[in-house]
Structure 1
Amino acid sequence: MKRRAAIIGLGHQAAEDHLPGLLGSSRAELVAVCDTNPDILHERADALGVPGFIRAGDLLAETAPDFVIVSVPHHAGRAVIEECAAAGVHVLKEKPFATSVEEACHLAGVCRKGQVELMVTLQRRFNPIYASVAGMLDQIGAPFLIGGHYSFHTPNPGAGWRGDLVQAGGGCILDMGYHLIDLLLWYFGLPNRVIAEFSATALPEGGYDAEDTAVIQLGYDSGLYGSLVLSRWMAPKTEFMRVVGTTGSVVLTKGAVQRLALDGTVVEELTRPHAPSLATAQIDYFCRVLAGERPNVSGPEQHLAHAAFIASCYEPKTAGRYIDPKEML
């Protein structure tokens, strides 16, 4: 029997990923949608042939889904998760998990109290290219340098709620940077020191205050150090991570991962030109979590580390020093 699923929030992410992913799932079926914009709501609900709701509480009460996919503006996530937990409904949450350490700790407690599973959407974790990196890192000796880069150009970085710190909670670090930060924590754990520089000045007179560009410096007591560059102003669209070790290096891009010898020769390479839907794979995995067949690898407790790392990026602007993310917890 398929799990009954609903989507709360029908913006770009839902249209591009969550709706197609759910419609392609063999383990879940769409039973309802919700959005505060009545025009978008009625258009989507009619096209999909499911009931539509303006209020999340009404959806939960009237359709009793097994789980919901929450894809709402960052400032609205807390209230929706609280409603779902109170109703005993599991949550697949579009990243970020939370906008602050305080909120992350609160929501982790809410989920525990409500005895609901919450999994944060991180589709790269369901791609074999990214999963294979750990094995390659074991083959490059002692890693000592890391460089990550994720950028694209959007004409107006301050458009909509994402440009407003009050609603977004942060700019490119919290939002698009969450993917690169997750890879860093997945492969290496929390750094011991972090400091960041960032700005919201790429578009003069843009009228937004959420950062459009950032450079994060980080280091581990193991001797590994490096930086992450994030920008929603810098073209062309680029995503990569490079780790340099004493006997070689690993280069990860969105479509491939390579292990290189010291002279740059490719020793091994993995590509995935015909990948199935990662959104569907993620939804099916979450259904397996709910069935007790898989561990929740992206739950609230794991994402406390993400919240601590991000908070430590924002803190040095006033502290003027490296921050140990563990201090934020």
Structure 2
Amino acid sequence: MKRRAAVIGLGHQSLEDHLPGLLGSSRAELVAVCDSNPDILRQRQEALQVPGFTRAGELLDALAPDFVVVAVPHHAGREVVQECAARGVHVLKEKPFATSVEEARELTQICQAGQVELMVTLQRRFNPIYTSVAGLLDQIGTPFLIDGQYTFHTDDPGGGWRGDVRQAGGGCIIDMGYHLIDLLLWYFGMPSRVLAEFSTTAVPGGGYDAEDTAVIQLGYDSDLYGSVLLSRWVAPKTERLHVVGTRGSVLLTKGQVQRLDLGGAVVEELTRPHAPASASAAQIDYFCRVLDGERPNTSGPDQHLAHAAFIASCYRSKAAGRYIDPKEML
């Protein structure tokens, strides 16, 4: 029998990932949707032919789903998770896990008290391109340099709630940067020092205070070091992670990973151009297996306390003008 699932928040991420993922899932079925905007709700409800609600609590009480996909603005996430936990409903939550370390701790306690599973959505972890990187890194000798970049251009980088630090918790670092930060923590663990510079000046007089562009320098006790560029202003759209070692390098881009020799020639590569839709369905199926006790929850609150600490160290570093040890934020 399939798990009964609902989607709370019908923005871009739900339309692009979560709804197609649920419709393609072999272990879950969509039973309802929820959005605070009645017009958006009506449009989606008609297209999907499922009940619609403007309030999460009403959906939960009326249908008691097995789990919900929560894809609401960052500042609204805590309340929705709390409502789910109070009713024993499990949560697949769109990143970020939390807007601060303090909120991350609160959410962890809320989930424990409600005895619910919460898993943060990170589709890249269900894409063979990204899961193969660890094995390739083992073949380039001792890695010592990281060069990461995740950028795209939007004419209004501070538009809506994303431009307001009080609602979003930050700008490109906590939002789009969460994906690249997750890759760093996944492949290399927590760095021992972080130094961040960022700005809100791409649009003069734009009236937003959440950073549109950031450069993060990081270092590990193992002598691995590097930098990451994040921006929702810099064109062209680029997603890459280049790791250089003593015997070669690994170059990860969206849809492709390559292992290069010291001269830059491709030794081996893996491509998967049509992965996103299947990765979303695979993520939902995996969460169902977690709920059935068949798989461990590898993207739960305990793991994402580290993400919150890394992000907090970036913002503290900027304020202090010096390197910060992210582990001090825990």
TM-score range, shorter chain: over 0.9
Q: Which residue of 1 aligns with 2:301?
A: 300
Task: Give the secondary-structure state (helix, strand or coil) at the position aligned to 1:277.
Answer: helix
Q: Partner amino acid for 1:315?
A: R
| TM-score computed with the length of structure 1 as normaliser | 0.99
1:117 and 2:117 equivalent?
yes
Q: Provide the rounded CA distance (Å) in 1 between the counterparts of 2:263 and 2:14.
A: 44
Q: Provide the rounded CA distance (Å) in 2 between the counterparts of 1:60 and 1:274.
A: 34
1:318 and 2:319 equivalent?
yes
Q: Which residue of 1 aligns with 2:15?
A: 15
Q: Partner amino acid for 2:41?
A: L
With over 3 angstroms needed to count, the CA separation of the structure-2 counterparts of 1:223 and 1:261, relative to structure 1, is same
| TM-score computed with the length of structure 2 as normaliser | 0.98
Q: Provide the rounded CA distance (Å) in 1 between the counterparts of 2:327 and 2:256.
A: 32
Q: Provide the rounded CA distance (Å) in 2 between the counterparts of 1:274 and 1:205.
A: 40
Q: Which residue of 2 aligns with 1:95?
A: 95
Q: Provide the rounded CA distance (Å) in 1 between the counterparts of 2:319 and 2:162.
A: 23
Gaps of 5+ in 2: none
Q: Which residue of 1 aligns with 2:161?
A: 161
Q: Which residue of 2 aligns with 1:186?
A: 186
Task: Give the secondary-structure state (helix, strand or coil) at the position aligned to 1:315.
Answer: helix
Q: Deviations over 1:62-94 (max 9, x none)?
A: 100000000000000000001101100000000
Q: Provide the rounded CA distance (Å) in 2 between the counterparts of 1:83 and 1:13.
A: 21
Q: Deviations over 1:226-247 (max 9, x none)?
A: 0000000000000000111111
Q: Provide the rounded CA distance (Å) in 2 between the counterparts of 1:167 and 1:220.
A: 32
Q: Provide the rounded CA distance (Å) in 2 between the counterparts of 1:121 and 1:239.
A: 18
Q: CA deviation at 1:17?
A: 1.0
Q: Which residue of 2 aligns with 1:132?
A: 132
Provide the identity percentage. 79
Q: Provide the rounded CA distance (Å) in 2 between the counterparts of 1:40 and 1:265.
A: 49
Q: CA deviation at 1:39?
A: 1.1
1:84 and 2:109 equivalent?
no
Q: Which residue of 1 aligns with 2:222?
A: 222
Q: CA deviation at 1:273?
A: 3.1
Task: Give the secondary-structure state (helix, strand or coil) at the position aligned to 1:280.
Answer: helix
Q: Partner amino acid for 1:293?
A: E
Aligned residues: 329
Gaps of 5+ in 1: none
Q: Provide the rounded CA distance (Å) in 1 between the counterparts of 2:317 and 2:290.
A: 38
Q: CA deviation at 1:34?
A: 0.8
190-199 vs 7-16, which moves further: 7-16
1:170 and 2:170 equivalent?
yes
Q: Deviations over 1:294-324 (max 9, x none)?
A: 1111101000000000000000122121100
Task: Give the secondary-structure state (helix, strand or coil) at the position aligned to 1:211.
Answer: coil
Q: Partner amino acid for 2:96?
A: P
Q: Provide the rounded CA distance (Å) in 2 between the counterparts of 1:264 and 1:12.
A: 37
Q: Which residue of 2 aligns with 1:282?
A: 283
Q: CA deviation at 1:265?
A: 1.6
Q: Partner amino acid for 1:323?
A: I
Q: Provide the rounded CA distance (Å) in 1 between the counterparts of 2:112 and 2:312.
A: 23
Q: CA deviation at 1:23?
A: 1.0
Q: Deviations over 1:177-219 (max 9, x none)?
A: 0000000000000000001000011011111110000000000
Q: CA deviation at 1:50?
A: 1.3
Q: Partner amino acid for 2:284?
A: I
Q: CA deviation at 1:47?
A: 2.1
Q: Provide the rounded CA distance (Å) in 2 between the counterparts of 1:266 and 1:200.
A: 38
Q: Provide the rounded CA distance (Å) in 1 between the counterparts of 2:134 and 2:319.
A: 35
Q: CA deviation at 1:274?
A: 4.0
Q: Which residue of 2 aligns with 1:40?
A: 40
1:233 and 2:246 equivalent?
no
Q: Provide the rounded CA distance (Å) in 2 between the counterparts of 1:237 and 1:43.
A: 30
Q: Partner amino acid for 1:296?
A: N
Q: Provide the rounded CA distance (Å) in 2 between the counterparts of 1:265 and 1:52.
A: 53
Q: Partner amino acid for 1:70?
A: V
Q: Provide the rounded CA distance (Å) in 2 between the counterparts of 1:273 and 1:94.
A: 23
Q: Partner amino acid for 1:253?
A: T
Q: CA deviation at 1:49?
A: 1.5
Q: Provide the rounded CA distance (Å) in 1 between the counterparts of 2:188 and 2:119.
A: 21
Q: CA deviation at 1:20?
A: 1.1
Q: CA deviation at 1:267?
A: 1.3
With over 3 angstroms needed to count, the CA separation of the structure-2 counterparts of 1:305 and 1:254, relative to structure 1, is same
Q: Provide the rounded CA distance (Å) in 2 between the counterparts of 1:81 and 1:328.
A: 23
Q: Which residue of 2 aligns with 1:31?
A: 31
Q: Provide the rounded CA distance (Å) in 1 between the counterparts of 2:26 and 2:143.
A: 41
